[in-house]
Amino acid sequence: MRISLAATFVGLALASSGAYAANSTNVEQELDALKQRIEQLESEQAETSKAQDSAFKFGGAARFTYSYTDYDNDNEDRGGDIDFELFRIGVDGEINGVILSAEYRWYQYMDVVHHAYVGYHFDEHQQGKIGVTQVPFGILTWASNSWFFSSNFYTGLEDDYDLGLNYTYTNDRGRLDLAFYKNDEQGGIDGYVGDRADRYSYDVVGVRLDGEGTFAAPSMAAGETNTFNVRYVHNFNWDEVALEFGGSGQFGQLELDNNDGDHYAAAVHGVVNYDRWNLKLQLTDYGYDVDGMDVAQMVVGAYAFFDSIPAEATSYMANIAYSLPVSIGPVSNLTFYNDYSIITEKSGNLADTFMNVTGVAIAAGGLFTYVDFVVAENQPFVGGSLVGTDGTNQRFNINVGYYF
């Protein structure tokens, strides 16, 4: 604006000067050309600023949880508790094919990086990423419908995030994922972090030695390193039925204080969509091995506490959901579901784990609410542990989140 006014002022001054009367036509033409160029530059700058602003989208959420349990007498006596769960901020964007995505979360008891990566679209079918990304294993993006995920989440085999490289190829027939993770999102066994339990997704952080408590910090630290992932799913379509069927493999090393080891996981999975129905099925097997040791349990960390998992186990999952569009005030959709998981064939002859979640997800504008009734045995966050013998517990849970 200042340049345009200056140009106008100069034009008036020159036009009024008798010394330049003979050349007034040329001067006016030059000034008109100058003003047009200035206006063009200002327009281009405005368009560039607008494009940069619109290229990135900031968003977030605030979530709260009400829970009523039969395994906590104090909670039961109070008629349940309501707690602040989290506040999160995220950014997603793309300029000239280069992608940025990141999210940071604040909980009452910790704050963590959920994910953070840069990527690139090589073409319409291929994409690469580097940073803290979701591990391509099993059904994606989530293998479950409820707020509790499946039991696989608590072994680090659903919605896990680690630090490394991803490559994805997609077309109408299917999707191929290849990934290499140097270590977990905290930098592995010697990462520069204050507390190795402060993380969003579960990772192995140690070996559970004899005599240690189920929730104790590990005496022998461990960390995943040099992990390779491969995942492929193929799409089949018959009239109104869509099937995604595939398999996943994960193979890597374990780094310990004075020892080494390795770990693996494999899964066969399928997703069926018919009309408003969705069915998810998955069979998973995993194992951890430490050189020279007969290990029955490993230590995992997440959500600011340590827990224990079997060193080997097999899990089965069957989840079904029905999506119902509605118009009830602000409510636009109800998704009814039942998620069932079981973990069996555990190392050390540990008792089986099962979890059944019956619930409904309610979408209403920016609000998204999970209403869940959980019946479980030896299940974290439902009064137990994957290595426990805790009996059957029940939990009624409502999680309300506002997303913006």
Given pLDDT bands bounded at 50, 70 and 90, which one contains residue 181? Answer: very high
b/e 157-170 (16+ beta carbons within 10 angstroms → b): bbbbbbbbebbbee
- Residue 22 confidence (pLDDT): 44
**pLDDT tens readout for residues 289-315:** 999 999 999 999 999 999 999 999 999
On whether residue 39 sits in a domain, the answer given is no
- What would the mean pLDDT of 1-11 be, rounded to a whole number? 39
- Residue 257 confidence (pLDDT): 85
On whether residue 347 sits in a domain, the answer given is yes
On whether residue 24 sits in a domain, the answer given is no
Domain span at residue 81? 56-403
- Residue 347 confidence (pLDDT): 98
The count of domains in the chain is 1
- Residue 28 confidence (pLDDT): 60
**pLDDT tens readout for residues 233-242:** 999 999 999 9
Cβ-based neighbour number of residue 52 at 10 Å: 11
Look over the chain and give the mean of its residue pLDDT values, rounded to a whole number. Answer: 91
Alpha-carbon gap, residue 160 to 11, rounded angstroms: 66
CA 10 to chain centre: 59
Residue 142 has pLDDT above 90, yes or no: yes
Lowest mean pLDDT among 25-29, 178-182, 202-206, 317-321: 25-29
- What would the mean pLDDT of 257-283 be, rounded to a whole number? 96
CATH of the domain at 166: 2.40.160.10
Given pLDDT bands bounded at 50, 70 and 90, which one contains residue 96? Answer: confident
pTM of the predicted model as reported, rounded to 2 decimal places? 0.86
On whether residue 7 sits in a domain, the answer given is no
Task: Please report which residue ranges of 145-270 form alpha helices under DSSP H.
Answer: none
On whether residue 260 sits in a domain, the answer given is yes
- Residue 25 confidence (pLDDT): 53
Given pLDDT bands bounded at 50, 70 and 90, which one contains residue 26? Answer: low
DSSP code string of 309-359: EESEEEEEEEEEEEEEEEEETTEEEEEEEEEEEEEES-GGGPPPEEEEEEE
- What would the mean pLDDT of 112-134 be, rounded to a whole number? 97
